[in-house]
Structure 1
């Protein structure tokens, strides 16, 4: 390589170095105080991007999108494969008109719990306590046939007991025998435990249906060691990358900062923002951790990359400090989300749900976090919990998000917008909760999951899954946001649908809907057309069955995922 002209910083030795959108300050390599040429390591040839009226070549250098130019007809090999043309020459991948989007983010996950759920008994199909007991008995019979220790606890996940004819009890679950059994609700706000399970947990309880803080020990019953758990989390990260995910916001509950520091040196699949819960806030503040700080050192050379430049800048750390997380109220399905109006058919002190953190304590936590340089992520599902969270943002000057925002007063929408409080929402929950919402919030579902109203008011949106509450797959969130439909059902409050472009913009961590020169080479390559993307495909202009659109989005094939210009998933 030839040194660039020191007077203007541009490399004169290669026309490819002077790619569009790059200046010496954007991305150049420095060695011993001298500039070196910008070297393109990968060209995604003949890509389709939103906003371009022709196919383009996307040039990637040192983890950055170095330029986007009109497609070169001779860029790819004649057979469409991806050759390397001589030492140091870029790899060329002919995309043959495939869509390229900024890489997708899941703005709300619990990675450890999601990794564990992937191996737990699925009890989501249970339509009654009796049905759940049958599923557990069948699972225990299968374990016995495999020779599993009869005293090994059985943990299931996915209960939707709020719509059952009667709430479950330990006595009902005792019908399976004396094996400890814990069945977690899909929202992780309750757990159904049999008598043997309560005994194993060391808990005395009158019914065996544990709510909110009562159920936290139950979730830990099958928690493996650090090394085993790390392998499960890594596997979950690989599965996410295969769906186009480049980053997650993780709200792990068990020493989340320590857990990510433990695994950071071998972590290579996703970007992670690791939240801190209020019980660990003192330690984080004492250490001086601020949102965006790296948790662990930078990676010197991305795994799988060869031929790097001497003295090249290290890759941006993959794991960063996230936000303070506080759960201010409960959930709809457990009837603990805090609301201004009582739940249908409920009376007494808990008819309006409950607050897990009093307003004064919430404000104190948020003020301390803000003064220490942390943003805040406040769980609020009921409309009263959302109003109190907005009060706290206004009072403390905090920045950050309200997580879930399931039920919102119309008067509070403008408060979201005025305070630039992000609504971190999980559209798949609308599909999970539509029936129970109609039963428990029958007179207010027009303002449940009001995504279109929030977007129209200018509220920043971030889509997520709340995995394991919903699966870690952004295409499910996008499908529910765009169609408000799943499984062939009629759209639920279709006036609140987002456009595909709005849903994508809320899924790319502020990167918009098209790759941009100078940005990180965190990209997803699709292997199919997206209904609704681009005016020529807009299903709102050319009406299509919402069920068809929903299914097309949920099953969107992903041909490749790039993180810092490195393939984390590739079937091209």
Structure 2
């Protein structure tokens, strides 16, 4: 932690009704904490000074849900986000193999939920030969592999895609195909620098197949730019408990403890996704005739979910439960109530009205990713046409007292907090009207849900600051205009624990 004097910055009021000075002020950060706010502050000896130039100051932004290794790798993968049919994908794979002979093909981003047919391994084999091909869906919940890749990853040969738990278990073995170059310390530092340029000061890392040793090693190799909360999965839970780690504890023990790298929650993936048609719902999908499980299904028996919650809660860990369908949300809330566990519902994409109230009553956070609604709008209308008003129900949550935490789920959506905020405010990415605009939030509400619970910058605040080139709460004629301001926001300065980690000047 270092110290910093930021001069001539305009405070942005995070809380509704909070009054801030009309004129710019100076902000002093000492040893990672704001110790003074006001005009004409004296600069202590040895403290770095930065001129804010009358720009707007907010607390540091957080992304509450990131898969950091996958996001870091995304730039090196075949981008399939724009394809619309299986035939287009096969053509892209054919071109990639011709351009890069002898190298495996790792694709990311296709959304098969809107396709009119299921794909097969055999048709991928026909265009790929002996080249290993792994095409990961945009939601991360299934992958289309050819036979060579299935065999290399020690998976049973079949003629269908690999879904859910089987895919999550296989994902870490991708390194045996492509190596770890994409997640080297240099690659991570580039990713962290990019996040800092967006005003991000911290994130919760939900990477699959990772261990705390991975982050300890990266931290020692210079990947210490931002705050990191590392989440465990069930396979590393006992190791975490044996180490005596509780949520919030530094991963680096004494005497090297650093509160920027801490233990996060236990992550449980309780159901699937909309795109893969595996989100667990109370009613069948509209195209249920195509599905093995017409209403989706849970990823583990109810008793296993409760065992994991009780085990983690008893050891002092919060739990982050992935639940997309309304049946999954209801069951997760019941498990929280029965075990006394605390934490979050991750995604909460489709919810029942009473379950939102129960979520508030239990004190369970809503960790949501608004940019997903931009991608899922059309598919939701197709497969959940009778329940769209209950999707991405941010207004219900906030009005009922649920604490919201915004994130990206990168690489499912870009690591961009301003895109997330804009999506929550306008709920449209094109010329169409807002999708269920009654569930929209205000710019101030989205900002408050993006700063990890920090208030307007004041004495006692964390020394995590972001200086903006425009006022994010400037009056706007419409939600679309407010969203445009957010989407086009530029960041002049990002500070973590008093240390400048991004400076555009």
| Interval containing the TM-score (normalised by the shorter chain) | over 0.9
Larger radius of gyration: 1
| 2:488 maps to 1:555 | yes
Partner in structure 2 of residue 311 of structure 1: none
Residue 246 of structure 1 and its aligned partner are, at CA, apart by 0.4
Which protein has the bigger helix share? Answer: 2
Which of the residues 263, 271, 277 maps onto 2:227?
Answer: 271
Which of the residues 315, 326, 340 maps onto 1:397?
Answer: 340
Which of the residues 195, 199, 205 maps onto 2:147?
Answer: 195
Contact 2:426 2:483 in 1 (8 A): yes
Structure 1 pair 47–466 and aligned structure 2 pair: CA distance change class (3 A): same
Partner in structure 2 of residue 565 of structure 1: 498
Partner in structure 2 of residue 55 of structure 1: 24
Partner in structure 1 of residue 437 of structure 2: 494
Which of the residues 42, 48, 65 maps onto 2:34?
Answer: 65
User: Cα deviations across residues 340-372 of structure 1 (Å, max 9, x unaligned)?
Assistant: 100002147600101111111111110111111
Instruction: Give the distance between the partners of 1:415 and 1:538, measured in 2 at CA.
Output: 34
Residue 171 of structure 1 and its aligned partner are, at CA, apart by 2.4
| 2:455 maps to 1:518 | no
Partner in structure 2 of residue 113 of structure 1: 70
Worse overlay, 357-366 or 195-204? 195-204
Instruction: Give the distance between the partners of 1:434 and 1:385, measured in 2 at CA.
Output: 20
Partner in structure 2 of residue 136 of structure 1: 93
Instruction: Give the distance between the partners of 1:251 and 1:55, measured in 2 at CA.
Output: 38
The correspondence of residues 341-420 of structure 1 with structure 2, limited to 5 A, is 341-347=283-289, 350-420=293-363
Contact 2:9 2:56 in 1 (8 A): no
Instruction: Give the distance between the partners of 2:123 and 2:484, measured in 1 at CA.
Output: 37
Partner in structure 2 of residue 246 of structure 1: 201
Contact 1:408 1:450 in 2 (8 A): yes
Residue 104 of structure 1 and its aligned partner are, at CA, apart by 0.3
User: Given the two structures, how large is their TM-score scaled by the length of structure 1?
Assistant: 0.82
Please state whether the residue corresponding to 1:95 is helix, strand or coil. strand
Gaps of 5+ in 2: 14-18
Residue 176 of structure 1 and its aligned partner are, at CA, apart by 2.5
Structure 1 pair 293–56 and aligned structure 2 pair: CA distance change class (3 A): same
Partner in structure 2 of residue 231 of structure 1: 186
Which of the residues 85, 89, 106 maps onto 1:155?
Answer: 106
Instruction: Give the distance between the partners of 1:282 and 1:336, measured in 2 at CA.
Output: 28
Residue 218 of structure 1 and its aligned partner are, at CA, apart by 5.0
Please state whether the residue corresponding to 1:92 is helix, strand or coil. strand
Contact 2:111 2:137 in 1 (8 A): yes
Residue 525 of structure 1 and its aligned partner are, at CA, apart by 0.8
Partner in structure 1 of residue 266 of structure 2: 324
| 2:247 maps to 1:291 | yes
Contact 2:333 2:358 in 1 (8 A): yes
Instruction: Give the distance between the partners of 2:261 and 2:457, measured in 1 at CA.
Output: 22
Instruction: Give the distance between the partners of 1:284 and 1:295, measured in 2 at CA.
Output: 10
Contact 1:155 1:183 in 2 (8 A): yes
Which of the residues 365, 388, 392 maps onto 1:422?
Answer: 365
Residue 299 of structure 1 and its aligned partner are, at CA, apart by 9.1
Contact 2:185 2:223 in 1 (8 A): no
Q: Say which structure, 1 or 2, has more relative contact order (CA 8 Å, 6+ apart).
A: 2
Which of the residues 200, 214, 222 maps onto 1:259?
Answer: 214
Partner in structure 1 of residue 16 of structure 2: none
Contact 2:188 2:223 in 1 (8 A): no
Instruction: Give the distance between the partners of 1:429 and 1:489, measured in 2 at CA.
Output: 16
Instruction: Give the distance between the partners of 1:95 and 1:299, measured in 2 at CA.
Output: 35
User: Cα deviations across residues 425-475 of structure 1 (Å, max 9, x unaligned)?
Assistant: 000111111111111111001000100110000101000011111111111
Instruction: Give the distance between the partners of 2:74 and 2:172, measured in 1 at CA.
Output: 10
Instruction: Give the distance between the partners of 1:219 and 1:122, measured in 2 at CA.
Output: 20
Residue 202 of structure 1 and its aligned partner are, at CA, apart by 3.2
User: Cα deviations across residues 59-108 of structure 1 (Å, max 9, x unaligned)?
Assistant: 22222211111367xx9xxxxxxxxx9x9354432222211100000001
Structure 1 pair 282–422 and aligned structure 2 pair: CA distance change class (3 A): same
Gaps of 5+ in 1: 1-26, 28-38, 76-84, 144-149, 301-313
Residue 138 of structure 1 and its aligned partner are, at CA, apart by 2.5
Instruction: Give the distance between the partners of 1:230 and 1:254, measured in 2 at CA.
Output: 18
